[in-house]
Structure formats: C-alpha cells, structure tokens
Structure 1
Amino acid sequence: MERLNTIRLHETDNVVVAVRDLEQGTSLGEHNLFARQDVPRGHKAATAPIAKGDPVLKYGQVIGFAARDIDPGEHIHTQNLEFKAVELDYAIGADAKPTEFVPEAERATFMGIRRANGRIATRNYIGILSSVNCSATVAKAVSSQIDRSGILNDYPNVDGVVALTHGTGCGMAAEGQGMDHLRRTLAGFARHPNFAAVLIIGLGCEGNQISRLMEAEGLEESAHFQPLVMQELGGTTATVKEAIARIKAILPEANKMERTPCPASALKLGLQCGGSDAFSGISANPALGYAADLLVRHGGTAILAETPEIYGAEHLLTRRAEDPEVAHKLIDMIHWWEDYTARNAGSMDNNPSPGNKAGGLTTILEKSLGAAVKGGLTNMVDVLRYAEPSTKPGFVFMDSPGYDPVSVTGQVASGCNLVVFTTGRGSCFGCRPSPSIKLATNTPMYERMVDDMDINCGTIIDGEENVAQAGKRIFDHMLRIASGERSKSEQLGYGEDEFTPWVVGAVM
C-alpha cells in the first residue's frame, strides 16, 4: 500500500501534517500542492493562502494566527505562527449524553488485591513518606537498608519498600493553598490502596507538623499508618533503627495478600502525556481516550489533569460536563491559571517546551487540542482540586500543572492505581506505588527506545491499525498490568524520585 506524505485531520483545516521528513518540492498530497521548503516529520504545511492575522486551523480548531502572509505549501511553525488568546464557546453540556455502560455480567475483571477496608489495589508496597525535606535522608536510608539486607526475598508478595521524599514542608505558610496541596498529597498516598502500610517520618519542628496533617486530613495512627518524629526518637540513627524495626514487623502481614478477580470498575486511571510531539494528538492520545472510554463503560474512573495543557481546548470538555457546576469549576481553574501566569510574568504559551516544538507543536493551543483527547468522549462527571480524593466513577478532570511528575503525583494522591503515559519524544517516567504504562506516538521513537516503551501507537500513523483497535489493545494491556505484570518503567526502577507535590506560594 502506498504510504501518504501528509495527513489532513479535519476538512476545514488549512494545514496538513507531514508523516515523514519532506524535502522541498515533495507533493503534499493535495492537488498541485508541493512543499515550498523542507518540512520535518510532524510539522505543518499550509494548504491555502493564509493572510497575516488570519487563523490557522488544525483539528478543525484555531491553533494560532499567521504572523505574516503564508503561501500554500509553506512550512508553518514558530517563524510564521503566533499565539493569541481565542474566544471560546463553552456550550456547557451540549455534548453530554447518557453513558452506554457494559452490562454487569459482561464487565472486565483483573487480578487485584482486596484490602480489609474494601479498597482494591494493583500493587502491594510498604511506603515511607517524609513530612518535610529535613527527614528525606532518613526515609531514603530506611528503604535502602531494607533493600540491601535481602529481607524482602522472604516476602515475595511485597512489591518493595518505597521512600517518597520531597523538597518542601517548611519555609512556607502554615496554612493556605501551598500547605493544602502538600497535606492532601501526603494523605492521599497514606490512604492509597497500593500501600499495605505507610510510615511517615518528620523532623519535629517543621511547618508541616505531622499532628496537624493528621488532624486536617482525618488520618489516624494505626498498624497501617505510623508516624515517627526524629527529634522525639533521638535523631537520625535512632529513627532509622526504629523505622526498620516497624517495617520488619509489618512485612509478615503484608505478605499475606492474595490476588483475586476484581471488577475493572475498581481501576482509577491517570491519563498523562509528556515529551509530546505532533503525532500525540493523532495516535497515542486518541487511542488512550478510547481506552479511557472503555474503562468508564466498565464502571471505572479516568482522571485527566494538566490544566495548562488543556488551555484553548477546555471548551471541548465543558461541552461534555454532566452539569453546569462541573463546567464552571473547570472554567474557574482556567481563569486562576491565567492570573497565576500573569502574576509570575509568564504566559500560558510558555508551554510547549523546546522538545515539543522540535516535534512539530508550535503553540499551547495546538498542544492542548491534541492533549485533551486523552479524556475520550464520555461525560465529565467531576472536577477536582489538586490531589483531592476522587469519589465519582467516570471521566474526571483534576487541576494540576503541566509538569508531568507534579501532575501524576496529584493523580495518584487522588486515588489512581494505574497510570498510562503517552510520549512522542521519548519521556521516561514511573510513579510508585502505581504502575505506569508508556505509549509511543510514533514507530521510530518506539524502536529507538523500546526498553522504555510498553506499547507502540505509531501503528496508527503507519496505517496498520485504527484508533479503536489500538485503544482496545491498550485497555487489555491495562488489565494485565493491573493484575501484576510489570510495566517497563517498573522493570527499570522508576517511581521514587518522581514523587513531586505541587509547590505554590512563597518560600519563606
């Protein structure tokens, strides 16, 4: 079968996307239209004259405006396309419709871990959290000594002891948005079903007092949640010794877990992308959206995040809002981000990154339109603050930055027990305690980084399968990973250093 040189994504578009590097003079697949310059793979070329100031359309949506007159066949990128804010029609609820759920008897299952409190896990870790950066070295020393001791070999049903540390917890306001983010994040991880038990280690004098954290988030000391304070226990050596003793006492009980058939409705899926390219919105992201819709139809939850990376595409989500209140939560978050970036002398168009631009993405509008399709097509049933617990099954949006580690940390804190992460440039990522599945948007990158990539969605660009076929393949792979098969990022040891709570506010 003859391969195409370009893809037109919508009949109203005035650009096409190059599916391979095109030399000057190469046919663009349109009548009597040829490339006026070399067009790199993933980049855009004009299909019609575009006057200075006129909109450039991709996906049938505005991705920016011509910075000067653009001729047919001309390469369109940062040299001639500029970002301007676009007035959007939010059309709240216009596309909302009843979800066609799979009958109960026909719903998918996976081999999960049922906790005593009824929650269902996909992994079985013991966690060590630091309340503040001052206790991070102790937390890491505990996990390192446990690992080196070889004791975990005697407990094969325990996936490991994970130290999740961070660079904040003091030098910040004792109350307010920044501290709320940190407390919700730590509490979300403390409650996460993928942890059989959690120790939290503090120094003792930090702003993020463990006692206040427990009070604010309703945490109670128990066999499954144990606080330790270094200044009370006698310092570094004494705290490490005590923490190791407690973990040794926890291990026999944690090892008793068994995997049993569990409904797919117990899965909470974090939808994420990073190191995106122009193919993200054509292959991996829509395929992941199809898989997310499948999960929702089986009764599960799919959580989209990265608020700056839906900017300019938020109207496609508000149209799917189940009720106006949900839509207005999202709109208010967009306004907060506009103000936040302005206060910090930035722009919503600071994203895309250099790597995104090298991959063919020019403006945040273009990136967002491709990123939002990870959320599929089902109704948006809720909008959450960063790290806020997810309680409603279905498609949900969570506020977060576009920085992947920060965003996924919030999704896992919200309850995600599985993450699927798309990438076009080759982002390498994991987030313990939840397994992360990596989707490649294009075949060359997949083949170059096969040790990091779980699934190649470049098959869509190559014409070997369609979005629905790739989406079903992703869904089936999700069930296998949730059942205990290890993802590539787990095999490579990713997931501890990627714990990154969102820091907002002044460092004092």
Structure 2
Amino acid sequence: MKHLVARIHPDDNVLVALQELPIGTPVSSNGTTVTTTERIPAKHKLALHALAPGDAVHMYGVLVGRANSAIGAGGLLTTANIHHATDSYDEQQEQRPAWTAPDVSAWQGRTFQGYHRPDGRVGTANYWLVIPLVFCENRNIAVLEEALMSELGYGRRQSYQPQTRELIALLRAGKSVEEILAVDLDPAGEAHQPPRLFPNVDGIRFLQHEGGCGGIRQDAQTLCGLLAGYITHPNVAGATVLSLGCQNAQVSMLQAEIELRAPNGLGKPLYLLEQQQLGTEQALISTALRQTFAGLMLANEQTRRPAPLSQLCLGLECGGSDGFSGISANPAVGHVSDLLVGLGGRVILAEFPELCGVEQELVDRSVDPATAERFSALMKAYGDSAVAVGSGFDMNPSPGNIRDGLITDAMKSAGAARKGGSSPVVAVLDYPEPVTRPGLNLLCTPGNDVESTTAEVGSGATVVLFTTGLGTPTGNPIAPVIKISSNTALARRMPDIIDVNTGSVIDGEETIEQAGARLLDYVVRVASGEQTVAAVRHDQTDFIPWKRGVSL
C-alpha cells in the first residue's frame, strides 16, 4: 500500500512527501502525527517538529542542513528557510560491527556470458576503439568513422532523414512557417544498414576529446591514464591510436600507463600511428583503415563463454536526481552492490562532491586506517580546491535537483551515497587509477555524471548502474549504462531512455530488496548480451575526460 510520507531514518526530523499533500493533510510517522500547514509537492520535505533558526535538519540519520528561519511543524522546507550544513569528520575511525553480507544463496552458481581476456578479466561486450592522443587528430578520427561505420554495418539505428525530406517537400509545396511549425512529422524509422560484417564485434567506438596538449603536463598524464584504462578494459578487443607526434600526450606516456595496468602484456592488438612520421593524410588514413580492419578480424574470433558473477565490476552513478532517488533507486542499487560484494565482485562508487556529509560513515567503513586517511585527504583536498575558486560542494545541486526536492548538497549526497550499500570500503582510488580489489571501491571523480561515468569505466566498470529521477540519457562508448528510474511517472514519460523502474518502491508495490534482486537479474542479462539497454540502442556514447580542475 502506498503511504503519504516516508521517514527514512528514526533520527530524522523531516518527512518526505510521497505524493502531493494539500494544506491541512494529516500525516503520521511512528506514532507522531503532523498536519501540513501549506501545500507540500511530491518529493519535497516537511518538518516533523517545529524548527527554530539554527536548528539542525536531519535526513538519512545525518545532518543535511540548518534552519534559516522558524519552520512550523508540517511546514515546507525550501532553499529560503534552510541552508546546507554537515557534521565535521576526520580520518579517525569509530568502531563498527562487522559487516553482515546479504543472503546470496539464490545467486551462487549463477553465471553470465562474457568475453574472457588474457589477463583473467571478463568483459560484458566486445568493442574496437579508435582513439586520438590529441585533439588535433579528431578530424582524422571522424574521417575513419565515416569510412568504417556504415560499410561494416554499424550505422545509426534510427534515422530522422525522412523527416527532413518531408519538411523540404512541404517547403517546395509553398507551405508557410506557421504551417511547417504545426505539422506532425512521421515517426523516425530504422536507418537502413547492411548486416554486420563482424557479428561478434559489438561496435567500433571513436573517442574524440579536447585534450592531449596545452594545459599542464599533469593533464596529459591523466588523459593517458584514462585512455590506457579504456584500451586495457575487458570490454575492449583492441585499439587503433592516432598521434600527431609533437603533443604533450606522447605515445611513450600512453605505453607506460598501459604497462602499469597490464604488466604481463596487453594481450590484444594495439596499433599506434603518428601522422608526422607517416606524412600525408592518405598515408595515415589508409594505414589506419588497413590495421583496424585486420584488428576487427581478430576481434571477431572472440565469443561469449560462461563466467561467475564475481567477474562483474559495477560502476554506480546518478544524474538528474530527485527527491525519490535516495529512497527508491539508490538503495535498490545499494542492495545490488551488497549482493555483488557478497559474491566476490567489484563495485565502484564515485562522485566525491556527492559524498559530502556522509564522510564519517565512509571513513568508519574503511577496512584499515590507511584507506580511511586517503579518503579523508582526497575529500578535503577536493573541497578546498572548490572553495579556492569561490565555489564549494554546497553549490552542487542543479536547478532540476532543487525543483524536485534536493535543496541542499548534503541532502542530495546522503541519498546518493546509498548506491554504495553497506559493505566495507576496501580501497580508495584517485582518478584515473584502476580497480584491483574485490569489494566496494571509492573513486575520486566530479559529480558531473558524464565525467564520472567516463572515469568509472576507465577504472574498470564493465556495467554501469545509473539512477535518475528527472531523466538523463547518459551512456558510455564501451560499457552498457543501465538507466534506473526513481519514480514511475518518469518511466512512463521517458520509456525510450529508462531501462528499469524502481518507482514500484514509492508506489508500495515492492521492497528495496525485491527491486534490487530484480535489478541484479537485469544486470546479468545485460552482461550476457541478452538485453540491450536504451543508451546502446540510441548510440549514446558520451565520453568526457576530467582535467582535474574544479568540476562539481
């Protein structure tokens, strides 16, 4: 049965409206009844008790703000009457009970069909990469894309060209601007393309970017680390790399980063070309086409074979969050995280600006003092760098977040952190370091969902679980991004980008554990190539490297 409000933690002094509450609506929580004194929009918060100026606001059992002015019991919390606030933290760990893993007996022995790589890792896809080492090569990358994609059967799946032709026909028929604007165009259709020449290759991905030269030398080193993460990734069969030759991001730098991630050898084809050595565009493109085609022939020899779920590496991400994300989609993902950790798999929780306010919990969950100290140091350095340029973590929530109930960064963060479940933190990684340990890993990235998703995959995520309350189309070039809706209205309004709906939790139809189990079953089907996610169907291949400047 659907309830009117939710109290997330017994220590909370605010309630979340699960539907719009008109003025004068009585609501109850654990024996306490309060009547709304104004209209409370769905996803927003109301005071359970009267708050005086300076009083603490608690959600998820942590401090998420303080009152700016008096708020009566049943009153609406807004950006005008509360402000962001968090408890202090340090790297000193408080003793916690030993973690109890969830019951994973239903998943023991379950496998997925994956691509087994020479380094022992297992991919959920099989892609070929074409990468520029510097932005100067982006044009040549585009030329290669034009030459290869359609001819090999990798053209876009949906075409809007017929709509353009329809508009041209209307113009030639003498239709006015007003008539053009009012016309209902025929739905977009499937783009015509030949069958794939290489059926075992999921696609060719062209990772254009704006880095590799200029900036500071550390930018080039970091970019090479990220690109090396993609080249060595288990979802990648091989790569073609184009270098100009004179840029900061040298081929030798990339090779060194690859060796750090693959000390026993790459074990897959890698073709490195420098334009200034080869000379003409004709020489560069023809050589790249020849080598890439040969690499695709080798990649096509790879086939899926069974692998245990412990071989999965999940990236945990959110974007376009709303006031329901922290009580439906994120905790459902958290349950998946705990299940996979219990099975021996790897999980990555990123977006450090969205861990603001829950730092002490993550410090306390760290497996040893060194891990706790590294997390604390990275968080403080990131926060200080934001303040140094006149910003701060408190400026993280977007207008969409605020409109839909996330009115302080701490409120947003406390809900976002639930994606990480409750398991111990086994490692803290600085961008773009790779994941090497089973369990929950924290990765320092921005809150920007494309930069963060790009980073998680670069660190090894083979599937990304992406929660959203407002709807965001983010995808990735090589890892399937599963889009998870926090509310049923979104899933119905944007079915073309949502893969899984956890609004069933808000609707009272499922528990968090039931939604999480359903989501893990979906993950296994995606990892096996049995289910294609919306972002892949739409060729949504977002790729934005982080230059380590302040990005919230």
Q: TM-score, normalised by structure 1?
A: 0.94
1:179 counterpart residue number: 220
Trace 1:226-245 onto structure 2 (pairs within 5 A): 226-245=271-290
What residue ranges of structure 2 are gaps of 5+ in the alignment?
Answer: 155-195
Match of residue 47 from structure 1: 48
d(CA) in 2 for partners of 1:66, 1:76 = 9
Task: Give a deviation string over 1:430-470, Cα, whole Å, max 9, x none.
Answer: 11201110110011011101111111100001000000000
* Contact persistence 1:108–1:298 (CA under 8 A): no
Q: Does residue 17 of structure 2 align to residue 18 of structure 1? A: yes
242, 253, 273: which is aligned to 1:212? Answer: 253
Equivalent AA in structure 1 for residue 22 of structure 2: E
CA offset at residue 89 of structure 1?
Answer: 6.8
Q: Quick one: structure 1 residues 334 and 105, their matched pair in 2 at CA, closer, same or farther if it must change by over 3 Å?
A: closer
Residue 190 of structure 2 corresponds to none
Task: Determine helix, strand or coil for the equivalent of 2:34.
Answer: coil
CA distance in 1, matches of 2:370, 2:150: 52
CA offsets 1:225-266 (integer angstroms, 9 cap, x no match):
111112222243432222111111112221111111101111
In structure 1, runs of 5+ residues without a counterpart are none
1:457 and 1:105 mapped to 2: Cα distance? 21
Residue in 2 aligned with 1:128? 130
Measured at CA, do residues 439 and 361 of structure 1 come closer, stay the same or move farther in structure 2, by a change above 3 Å?
A: same
Which of 496, 514, 532 aligns to 1:486? It is 532
Tell me which residue corresponds to 1:193.
234
Equivalent residue, structure 1, for 2:435: 390
Equivalence map 1:20-99=2 (5 Å): 20-29=19-28, 33-88=34-89, 92=93, 94-95=95-96, 97=98
**Which amino acid in structure 2 is aligned with residue 185 of structure 1?**
L
State whether structure 2 residue 157 is matched by structure 1 residue 111: no
List aligned pairs for 1:241-390, cutoff 5 A: 241-390=286-435
How far apart, CA to CA, are the structure 1 residues paired with 2:522 and 2:107?
A: 21
Distance, in Å, in 1 between the alignment partners of 2:390 and 2:258 is 34
2:207: which partner in 1? 164
In the TM superposition, residue 96 of structure 1 has moved relative to its aligned partner by 5.8
TM-score (norm: length of structure 2): 0.87
Q: Which amino acid aligns with 2:19?
A: R
Q: Is 1:96–1:378's contact at 8 Å kept on the other side of the alignment?
A: no
Q: Percent identity?
A: 38
Supply the distance in 2 between the matched residues of 1:127 and 1:32 (Cα, whole angstroms): 59
Q: Give the conservation status (yes or no) of the 8 Å contact 1:90–1:316.
A: no
Whether contact under 8 Å (1:4, 1:29) holds in the other structure is: no
Distance 2:39 2:349 in 1: 36
Alignment correspondent of 2:166:
none
Cα 1:141–1:96, aligned 2, differ >3 Å: closer, same or farther? farther
Q: SS where residue 70 of structure 1 aligns?
A: coil
Displacement of 1:475 after TM fit?
A: 0.8
- Distance (Å, rounded) in 1 between the aligned partners of 2:329 and 2:153: 40
**More displaced stretch, 229-238 vs 376-385:** 229-238
Find the aligned partners of 1:103 and 1:366 in 2 and give their Cα distance.
35
Q: How many residues align?
A: 501
Where does structure 1 differ by over 4 angstroms across 4 or more consecutive aligned residues?
Answer: 98-105, 219-223
**Matched position secondary structure for 1:419:** strand
Residue 216 of structure 1 and its aligned partner are, at CA, apart by 4.7
Give the Cα–Cα distance (whole angstroms) in 1 for the partners of residues 292 and 320 of structure 2: 37
1:118 is paired with a residue whose SS is coil
The amino acid of 1:124's aligned partner reads N
Kindly tell me: are residues 410 and 184 of structure 1, through their superposed partners in 2, closer, same or farther at Cα, counting changes over 3 Å? Answer: same
Q: Supply the AA of the counterpart residue of 1:26.
A: T
Match 2:150 to one of 148, 151, 154: 148
Once superposed, what is the RMSD of the aligned Cα atoms? 2.1
Q: Give secondary structure in 1 for the equivalent of 2:64.
A: strand
Distance 1:18 1:124 in 2: 44
Q: Does structure 2 retain, via aligned residues, the 8 Å contact 1:96–1:322? A: no
How far is 1:297 from its partner? 1.0
Aligned partner of 2:172 in structure 1 is none
Secondary structure in structure 2 of the residue aligned to 1:494: coil
8 Å contact 2:237–2:268 — kept in the other structure?
Answer: no
Shift of 1:90: 6.0
Structure number with greater Rg is 2
Larger deviation, residues 32-41 vs 458-467: 32-41
Is 1:139 aligned with 2:141? Answer: yes
CA gap 1:85/1:283 in 2 versus in 1, 3 angstroms: closer
> How big is the shift at 1:500?
1.0
Does the CA-based 8 Å contact 2:57-2:67 persist in structure 1? Answer: yes
